[in-house]
Structure 1
Amino acid sequence: MNDQAVRLALPRYALSPRATATLINVSENTTYLVEDGGAATILRVHRPGYHAVESIRSELAWLTALREEAGISTPRVVPATDGSLVVEGPRNCVMFEYLPGTEPPEHRLVEDFEELGAITARMHLHARAWRRPPGFTRFTWDYDAAFGAEARWGRWQDGPGVGHAEREILGRLDKTLHTRLSRYGTDRERFGLIHADLRLANLLTDGRRTSVIDFDDCGFGWYLYDLGAALSFIEHYPQVPAMIEAWTRGYRTVCDLPAEDEREIWTFVMFRRLLLVAWIGSHSTVDVARELGAGYTQGSCELAERYLGGL
């Protein structure tokens, strides 16, 4: 189906008959490198049933506004020959410009997180002031969307390796998250439009600048969730405390981060971690989910005990 979607989409763009599409990533969506002579672009093939076309257009509107109004390096959207930003079909497709750079290297995580903190603050400032276009629609990343009756990524209880002991520990974590997030609240200084997936795989650095890509999960959530998401899959790294300190330092060069907000940072790290246990359980066909498996659940229990013991 993905190959069929690519074959249907490519003729809609200003490409020569010699253009090729090479698969580079399969996760939530499927991503291809499109090469045509000396030019390269990125084609994203959307999974069915996750976003309506209006929601995809809303995503593209924000990432464009961030680049044009806030100076955030984001990929330009390449329109089809008829001007469409979203090529509709069995699998909706979007073409982006190719941005140089690679995922931030591990030996520079602390330094790069200071820059990421400043970038994230600029995104949050923009989100608070931006007048969203008519029809703008994105989903919400609140407690109910994560762990409620219709959890977007499934139930953490169905994650790999969740037995009786794991269910007890993670259940205590779940209840604590609910209590603390309810108390923390959703006023406009704490909750708004966020990227929601600022993990390392969605950052590109070329030594001069850091670009932010893949706004597919952007929506309305707690601003500090962007930090929790930035630590996805690496929450156990020994340098994480230094990374968090660097992020907050960078963030405060742009806007305020009250002490009462800073005290909840690990709440959002654990919120994201528990959400990823659910994601792994519901995405068993994705390579990274298969690789992490039950080991991620076990590590989550260890982090949960440490978090709960420190309250």
Structure 2
Amino acid sequence: MTISFAGRVAIVTGAGGGLGRAYALELARRGAKVVVNDLGGARDGSGTSDAALRVVEEILAAGGEAIADGGSVTEFEQMQAMVAHTREKWGGVHVLINNAGILRDKSFAKMDPADFELVVKVHLIGSAFATKAVWDTMREQNYGRILMTASSTGLFGNFGQANYGAAKLGLAGLTKTLYLEGAKNNIKVNTLAPVAATRMTEDILPEEAFKLFAPENVVPAALYLVSEDAPTNAIIGAGAGGYHSAWVTMNPPLVLAPEDRTVEGFAAQWGRISDRSGDFVPQSGAHQSQAILSAIEAAMKG
């Protein structure tokens, strides 16, 4: 069955190029009215350009509907204005893809604190601002699909990207609360960790890999995660035609006897405490304490 976005209004941040452009084009091709948001800055976030307008022109030329927005995700008032304009023109907002981002890579030892702060502000705070700007609209509609863009750096780490990794794992954490808060209003929130050949990665990926990791190969995962029948609270990796899930897991708690609840007692049981057999995926933070209490109850029963 064809997945359609007819009648839906979508906002894609950072859509002036790369992944965002690919998402915007395919959403429009599938019937969505698209807001192409892009400040138009360089990879490090400096400067501006008319990148968003160029993507809008592509969509219009193909027979779709789109408007450009040059608001910065780091300015909440600009995100509010973008959503207000979108509602005025098209009546609502059904899809938000938080894709805007910058890079300022350096080892932590050499990183200026301002570069740490700005990367976190654009990726994490910017996504929160854009999401907050659409949240009430989606609650009123009883419909919303939101995608956060995380990264393997956030999930698994990468040398020289402490700022980026901190922001990206923060986005996965943001998803895990918003999917709970949005559930009663049919708002589904997911996390995507893409690998794509864009200006963000042009000097990171080798030339052969750069061709293989075309942004278009990430589009199927991204658009499914904001479709009507999307899951919620998923973490999906995508790149070069390969797709996978990732999870935040915990293992069953080991209850130490009162006399063993010392630093030495913990150290002696580290092998069992760090044993991944029996891993499971908690569905909320409350499951951690529930699992501990269940383990204590079982230990008391012997």
Question: TM-score, length-normalised on structure 2?
Answer: 0.27
Higher-Rg structure is 2
